[in-house]
Every structure is written in structure tokens, then in C-alpha cells.
Amino acid sequence: MAISKFNYNSFNVTPVASKALAFNSDADGFTTASGSSMILIKTLTASSSANLSFVNGSSDVVLDDTYPVYKFLCINCHPSQQGGDGDEFSVGFRDGSTAYDASKTSTFFSSVHGEDGSGGAVAYRDSHDQANATGFQTLAVDMDADNDTQVSGELTLFNPSSTTFVKHFIWRGNHVHSSAGIQDTYVAGYCNVTAAIDAVQFKMSAGNIDAGVIKLYGIADS
Amino acid sequence: MALSKADFNNINVTPAASKKLKWNASANGFETGDVGGNMVLIKTLTADNSANLSFVNGTSDVVFDSTYEKYVFKFIDTSIRSNTEKLGFNVSIDTGSNYNVAKTSSAFRAHHGEDDSPAALAYYGDDDLAQGTGLQPIQNGGNSDADSCISGELTIFNPSSTTFVKHFIMTTNQNNSSGNSQVLHIAGYANTTSAVDAIIFQSNTGNIDGTIKMYGIT
């Protein structure tokens, strides 16, 4: 970005996206600089929502080769129901069609501990991993639906625009499980497709996401 | 920072560390702020044989309220002073008058010896809590050797909520007193619907050293 004195009381400034003016080492001059490498792209807020979807090119969402890494930050996502298959928070990836059915292979393990001190354990949970399956990937299971409970966590998606490689993803989140305790969940896997992933959707296995916020960030220079 | 036209060809600028000039809403003027800055450094505290480090909303430039929905604390070479100590944290709902909020958490660890001795992954009940109001351990099996330290990260989600419990997630690594690399994964929640507005880091018995940085994520 060029900055020059254009006229008295004026700057001739051509703004450049994602660039800023910063003070230089002289403390009385300027230089151009990048902002943070973690760029907020979009915030979606659930209100009895069937799902929250981030679609490249729609509603200001960027999910392409602009960034090599994307992060979805899920905050206080509260389910509308407990039990009856409605208590699983999940994610799906779109790979070219309108469906969120990219084939995935994943691992799933979690650590649990009850409020009464019982059941402390860490274990692999093979009922929630996937082996080239097209269904949504579970991120939280056996969620409690009391008014003060929710799931919070972070999903990282690597290089979704690649048309060469599979697309890796990593999730860590925790929630209050239906037996009144903490469940700390780790999920990692890959969309086993070479087509670009251009949209990501979060939803409950049944019912709605009653409340909560999901933020999409792009990680620049990563 | 004040920015005003002082004279022809001049602007009266007082630089502010870590702040930038950015275009304001009118697109032809400036304002100061964090640019693209979705991870904002709020405060750095350094311990030097200190009893504790605390971040209290509204004190010493600390922001720990609804300004951010997610807060991250980074531990950089933090350490304890004897092998019997355990570094931990607690939170407050009354701006630091009391650090005694009930917490439920889970903990598991993996470790591997410098001599290639037993590598293992297991649940670690010594560091979990079940509605405990005391310190939530950050690491265990402390090592007071001069080159030993704990580094890692604690995330707290939406501490200002008055509806939900407050989830936290933490991963730290240390070279412990048994000569192991030990990673500890802890997650849990402060079981309160009151806003959490302060956090304290301290050892269960002695003093601490090292740096803790607090960030807000917009």
C-alpha cells in the first residue's frame, strides 16, 4: 500500500484488504502491517435453529482457498431435547452437491467424570467414529438439555479447497452429559474426497440447536 | 490515542503499543483499534517467586467480561518451586474476593520417559474435580529443576453468561519429576450461572514463576 502526501490536510491512501497502518520504529511515522492472522469471517447465532450452515459465497462466508486453515468456534450450543437420539451435536461437510455428505473416516475418544465423583475414565468410543461414512460426524454425545447446559469447542478444518488431498479436521469440545458430569471429546478425521469442501453444517441429531453461537475464522499465513 | 490535525503536513499522534490506525465507518477517516484482530492480547503477567497471578475484570487494564466470548490464557515457562507442589487455577464470581466456584472436570494424561521408559495414556483421577471448590490442577508431578517448566493453554468460554455453566478446556505439557514428557488434558465447567469475572493461578503450597498471557477472542 502506498501512502503519500497528496495535498494539505489530505492523504492519498488506497486501502488494501486485511492491511492496516501501524506505527513504525520511529514512533512518529507509519508503516503498513497485517492484522491478526486469525480473521473473523462470520458469526451465526442459533435460535431454535434446525442447523447452522456456512456456505462459501453466501452471506459473506468465505470458505475457499483464501485461507489454508479454518476454525469454527462453537459457544454455548444448547440442544432442544435430551435423549431420543436428539442429544448429539454433529457436523457435515459439502463436497460439490447440495448435501452435506462428504465421506469421512474418523476417530472418537472422550474423557468423562461425574459431578458426584464417579465414572472417571478416558476411552475410545467406536460407536461414534466413522469409516468412509457419509452421515454427520458426531462431536458431542449424550448431551444434557437442562437450561444451563451446552457444548462449547473448536473445530479446525485444514485446506478445504484442495483438489489434490483429503481434508483433515480436528475437534475438541466439552459438554455436560446427561448423567450430570463433564465429557471432554476429541474427534479427528478426514473427508475422503479430493473435491473441495465448500460448506459446513452443524446440527443436532434430532430437534434443534436451541441457542448458541458458531463463529468461523480464517487463519492467514498458516 | 488522540489523532488530530495539528498543522499542515502534520498529525498529532501519540502511538499506543499494539494498536493500529484503521479506517472508520465513514471510510475516509481513521480510528485506532485492533485490525483483523480476533485474538487480542489483554494482559501479560509475570511471576517471580510470586504467591499467585490473578486476572480481575476492571483491574490493571484486565477485561474479563462480555467483551469477548472466549478467553485464552497461555502459560509460558511457568514453574513451581518444589516437586511436591501442584500448579492450579480457580475462578471468582465476585471480582476476586473469593475464588471458590464449584467445578467438575475430567483429566487424562500421556507420558513418556526421557529414557524411553513406559509410555502410557490413562485417565488421571488425581487432577479431576467433582463439584470441587478448590484449585483445578493444571499439571501434576511437578519438577523444580532449573530447566523445568509448564507450558500450555487454557480456554474459557463465555464467562459472562448468566444462563449457562462455564466450560473450560486446557492442555499443558511439562517435563515432570520422573523425567517424563507429560501432556495433561483437562476439561470441565464452573458449575455456576453467575458471571465469572476473575481467575487466579497459584500453587497449592508454594510460589510460582513464569509468564501467563491473557487473550480475548472476538
Each residue of A86-98: pLDDT tens digit? 689 999 999 999 9
B136 in Cβ contact with A122 (< 8 Å): no
Q: Is B12 near chain A, with CB under 8 Å?
A: no
Which residue, B191, B157, B165, is CA-closest to B69?
B157
Return residues 165-204 of B near A (CB < 8 Å): 165, 167, 169, 185-189, 191, 193
The whole-angstrom separation of Cα A140 and Cα A128 is 9
Per-residue pLDDT for B34 more than 80? Answer: no
Query: So what's the ipTM on this one?
Result: 0.74
How many Å apart are CA A219 and CA A40, to the nearest integer? Answer: 9
pLDDT at A28: 54
pLDDT at residue B24, as a whole number:
58
Cβ within 8 Å, pair A36-B37: yes
- Say how far apart CA A62 and CA A58 lie, in whole Å: 8
Q: Is A34 on the interface with B (CB under 8 A)?
A: yes
- Asked whether the predicted pLDDT for residue A15 surpasses 60, the reply is no
According to the model, what pLDDT value does residue B9 have?
43
Tell me the average pLDDT across A149-162.
93
Cell, residue A133: 461414512
Q: What is the dihedral of CA B43, B46, B52, B58, to 10 degrees?
A: -20
| Lowest mean pLDDT, pick from A104-113, A125-134, B143-152, B192-201 | B143-152
Higher pLDDT, A211 or A19: A211
pLDDT tens, position by position, A44-53: 999 999 999 9
How many whole angstroms separate alpha carbon A204 and alpha carbon A49? 9
* Phi, psi angles (nearest 5°) of residue A150: -170, 175
3-state helix, strand and coil shares in percent for chain B, rounded to the nearest 5: 0, 55, 45
From the candidates A24, A113, A151, which should be mutated to test the interface with B, based on the most B CB atoms within 10 A? Answer: A113
Alpha-carbon distance of B211 to B14, in angstroms, equals 28
Evaluate if residue A178 carries a pLDDT over 60: yes
Q: In this predicted structure, what is the pLDDT of residue A5?
A: 42
As a whole number, the mean pLDDT across chain B is: 85
What mean pLDDT is reported for chain A? 86
Higher pLDDT, A9 or A75: A75
Count contacts between A and B (CB, < 8 Å): 143
Partner A contacted by B32 (CB < 8 A): no
CA distance, residue B19 to nearest chain A CA (Å): 7
- Using CA atoms, how far apart are residues A78 and B164, in angstroms rounded to an integer? 9
Cα A154 from Cα A69, distance rounded (Å): 13
Q: Exposed/middle/buried for B216, CB within 10 Å: 0-12, 13-18, 19+?
A: buried
Residue B37: CB partners within 8 Å, gap ≥ 6?
A: A35, A36, B218
Averaged pLDDT for residues A120-130: 92
The DSSP symbol for A106 reads E
**DSSP class of A196:** P
Tell me the average pLDDT across B94-112.
95
**Greater model confidence, A35 or A67:** A67
Would you tell me how many other CB atoms lie within 10 Å of the CB of residue B98? 12
Give pTM, 2 decimals. 0.80
